[in-house]
């Protein structure tokens, strides 16, 4: 479960709040996986087209292709000029976007339900009539360069890249998510076409529709718009990369856009599909989930050693990362902060957290989960990612029980397994100076 910040407070139990998400799923003859969820409580429909491709699927020399394709496929098609889609769905009162992660590429839009066919046409158009020519590549490459410039100028925006570079030696997770500009500049049109043919067949995608629909009518509409998309072969076979056990490392990284340094106390952790990843959510919430959390109370409120502290469980398909971010206050040294963090981690490793803390954490996580499924857009995106990452969309109805089954003893065991001093990364994230 991705870390999402919500302010909703819910006193009732999770079992009372969690509603089973009913859905049907099936494959078209061309390999496209379709998931339909009917919820007629509001005249709204949410659609997601998600490809199981991300930056980790880029070979050396083509770093940045996944993100560039997000731009290319999401902008221009044979029957729609660049920029038109944004104007159309906004005029209908909709909202949407596209995104690329290390593992996935998603296109999504939420519209009034009477505009369902518009969304179907749009996403079938992406699959049927993409424009992949030199002119389009040149335009979108410049757009990516501008996006990179904007990201690079944002304070603390580089920490994710730095963490990946430190944690991975073999796995392509080590490469920047946005890619390498020199690879985009030096690649040929044939390189782009080959990438499209490899990773964007219908068999490597899932299409989700959730909201105010009639299942049988929607199945017929899906057939009308998507059956003609040609079958381009089976789902691409994924490379398997195995990293050695991470050994303690201390690094310094620099950012010209910050004035206050930051400390990252981090660990490489298991795939998000593993149960231990769910247990790590408990630990991150215990350490920094709100103002009553252990590290916030200690470092921000009581000792006033930090301006901010946050523990983040960065989940990914193959390997994840657990990072504690601290902004020191005044003259507080990194060594003093490290000492205080180690005390609290050692406590989790040596003795079970209290029953009271355990219940608070569980309530917090339950509220987050319930809230994440409080809209058809949240449901549609969850169904898509559970299908692609877990290979099982029904995880949307199983994950709650997994979280509820985590025990205090299990939290202690997982802390010992992954948060060991000899497996930690200490990253000093420092202002870049001209000195």
Spatial distance between the Cα atoms of 282 and 183, rounded to a whole number of angstroms: 40
Beta bridge partners of 311: 324
Of 191, 226, 261, which closes a domain?
226
- pLDDT value at position 4? 35
Spatial distance between the Cα atoms of 148 and 144, rounded to a whole number of angstroms: 6
Which residues are within 8 A (CB) of 185 and not within 5 positions of it... i.e. 6 or more apart? 141
Same domain assignment for residues 126 and 266: no
- pLDDT value at position 367? 86
Q: Is the pLDDT of residue 112 over 80?
A: yes
Spatial distance between the Cα atoms of 103 and 241, rounded to a whole number of angstroms: 14
- The structure tokens listed for 123 are 């996403």
Q: Is the pLDDT of residue 433 over 90?
A: no
Greater pLDDT, 81 or 58? 58
Same domain assignment for residues 295 and 336: yes
Greater pLDDT, 128 or 12? 128
Distances (CA, A) of 267 to 201, 253, 420: 35, 17, 8
Q: Is the pLDDT of residue 297 over 90?
A: yes
Same domain assignment for residues 411 and 338: yes
- pLDDT value at position 2? 40
Mean pLDDT of 137-155: 91
Concatenated DSSP letters of 386-423: IIIIIS-TTHHHHHHHHHHH--HHHHHHHHHHH--GGG
Same domain assignment for residues 26 and 118: yes
Percent of the chain with pLDDT over 70: 95
Each residue's pLDDT tens digit, 67-88: 999 999 988 899 988 888 989 9
Q: 276 in a domain, yes or no?
A: yes
Same domain assignment for residues 35 and 174: yes
Cβ pair 63, 180 in contact under 8 A = yes
- Domain with 365 in it: what CATH number? 3.30.830.10
Same domain assignment for residues 158 and 190: yes
Mean pLDDT of 244-268: 96
Mean pLDDT of 85-93: 91
Mean pLDDT of 192-204: 95
Q: 290 in a domain, yes or no?
A: yes
Helices 84-91 and 116-128 cross at an angle (nearest 10°) of 170
Tell me, rounded to whole angstroms, the distance of Cα 54 from its chain centroid.
11
- pLDDT value at position 371? 85
Q: 105 in a domain, yes or no?
A: yes
Mean pLDDT of 412-422: 97
In terms of residue numbers, what domain contains 382? 249-431
Cβ pair 279, 411 in contact under 8 A = yes
Of 193, 226, 259, which closes a domain?
226
Q: Is the pLDDT of residue 37 over 60?
A: yes
Of 226, 261, 288, which closes a domain?
226
- The structure tokens listed for 97 are 């976007």
Percent of the chain with pLDDT over 90: 85
55-59, 190-194, 349-353, 401-405: least confidently modelled range: 401-405
Q: Is the pLDDT of residue 290 over 60?
A: yes
Count of domains observed in the chain? 2
Spatial distance between the Cα atoms of 282 and 432, rounded to a whole number of angstroms: 35
| Nearest in space to 280 (alpha carbons), one of 257, 307, 313, 249 | 313
Mean pLDDT of 357-384: 91
Q: 243 in a domain, yes or no?
A: no
Confidence of residue 260 (pLDDT cuts 50, 70, 90): very high
Helices 275-288 and 408-418 cross at an angle (nearest 10°) of 90
Same domain assignment for residues 45 and 140: yes
Residue-wise burial string across 26-64, b where 16 or more C-beta atoms lie within 10 A, e elsewhere:
eebebbbbbbbbbbeeeebbbbbbbbbbbbbbbeeebbb
Each residue's pLDDT tens digit, 214-237: 999 999 999 999 999 999 888 998
- pLDDT value at position 289? 84
Q: 294 in a domain, yes or no?
A: yes
- pLDDT value at position 435? 54
Return the HEC string of 161-204: HHHHHHHCCCCHHHCCCCCCHHHHHHCCHHHHHHHHHHHCCHHH
Same domain assignment for residues 404 and 262: yes
- pLDDT value at position 130? 93
Same domain assignment for residues 74 and 112: yes
Q: 421 in a domain, yes or no?
A: yes
Same domain assignment for residues 294 and 207: no
Rg (Cα) of the chain, in Å, rounded? 23
Beta bridge partners of 323: 266, 312
Same domain assignment for residues 207 and 267: no
Q: 234 in a domain, yes or no?
A: no
- pLDDT value at position 18? 55
- pLDDT value at position 5? 31
Same domain assignment for residues 189 and 274: no
In the predicted model, what is the mean pLDDT of the chain?
Answer: 92
Spatial distance between the Cα atoms of 221 and 117, rounded to a whole number of angstroms: 8
Beta bridge partners of 111: 45
Q: 239 in a domain, yes or no?
A: no
């Amino acid at each position: 479960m991705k870390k999402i910040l919500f302010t909703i407070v819910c006193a009732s139990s999770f079992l009372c709040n969690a509603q089973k998400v009913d859905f049907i799923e099936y494959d078209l003859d061309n390999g496209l996986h379709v998931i339909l969820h009917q919820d007629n409580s509001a005249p709204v429909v949410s659609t997601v087209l998600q490809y199981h491709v991300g930056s980790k699927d880029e070979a050396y020399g083509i770093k940045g292709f996944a993100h560039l394709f997000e731009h290319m496929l999401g902008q221009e098609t044979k029957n729609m000029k660049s920029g038109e889609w944004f104007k159309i769905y906004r005029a209908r009162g909709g909202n949407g976007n596209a995104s690329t992660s290390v593992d996935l590429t998603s296109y999504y839009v939420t519209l009034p339900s009477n505009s369902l066919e518009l969304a179907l046409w749009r996403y079938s158009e992406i699959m049927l009539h993409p424009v992949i020519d030199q002119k389009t590549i040149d335009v979108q490459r410049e757009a990516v360069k501008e996006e990179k410039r904007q990201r690079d100028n944002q304070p603390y925006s580089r920490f994710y890249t730095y963490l990946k570079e430190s944690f991975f030696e073999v796995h392509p997770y080590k490469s920047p998510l946005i890619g390498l500009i020199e690879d985009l500049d030096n690649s040929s049109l044939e390189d782009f076409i080959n990438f499209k043919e490899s990773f964007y067949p219908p068999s490597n995608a899932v299409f989700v529709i959730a909201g105010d629909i009639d299942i049988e009518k929607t199945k017929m509409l899906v057939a009308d718009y998507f059956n003609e998309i040609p079958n381009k072969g089976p789902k691409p076979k994924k490379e398997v990369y195995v990293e050695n056990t991470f050994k303690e490392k201390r690094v310094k990284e620099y950012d010209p856009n910050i004035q206050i340094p930051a400390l990252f106390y981090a660990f490489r952790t298991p795939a998000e599909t593993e149960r231990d990843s769910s247990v790590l959510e408990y630990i991150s919430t215990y350490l920094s989930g709100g103002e009553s959390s252990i590290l916030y109370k200690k470092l921000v409120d009581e000792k006033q050693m930090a301006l901010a502290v946050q523990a983040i469980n960065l989940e990914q398909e193959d390997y994840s990362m657990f990072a504690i971010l601290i902004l020191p206050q005044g003259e507080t040294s990194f060594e003093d902060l490290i000492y205080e963090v180690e005390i609290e981690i050692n406590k989790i490793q040596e003795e079970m957290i209290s029953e009271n803390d355990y219940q608070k954490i569980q309530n917090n996580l339950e509220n987050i989960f319930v809230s994440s499924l409080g809209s058809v857009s949240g449901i549609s995106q969850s169904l898509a990612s559970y299908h692609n990452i877990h290979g099982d969309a029904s995880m949307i109805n199983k994950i709650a029980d997994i979280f509820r089954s985590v025990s205090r003893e299990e939290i202690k065991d997982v802390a010992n397994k992954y948060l060991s001093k000899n497996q930690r990364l200490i990253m000093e994230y420092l202002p870049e100076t001209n000195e």
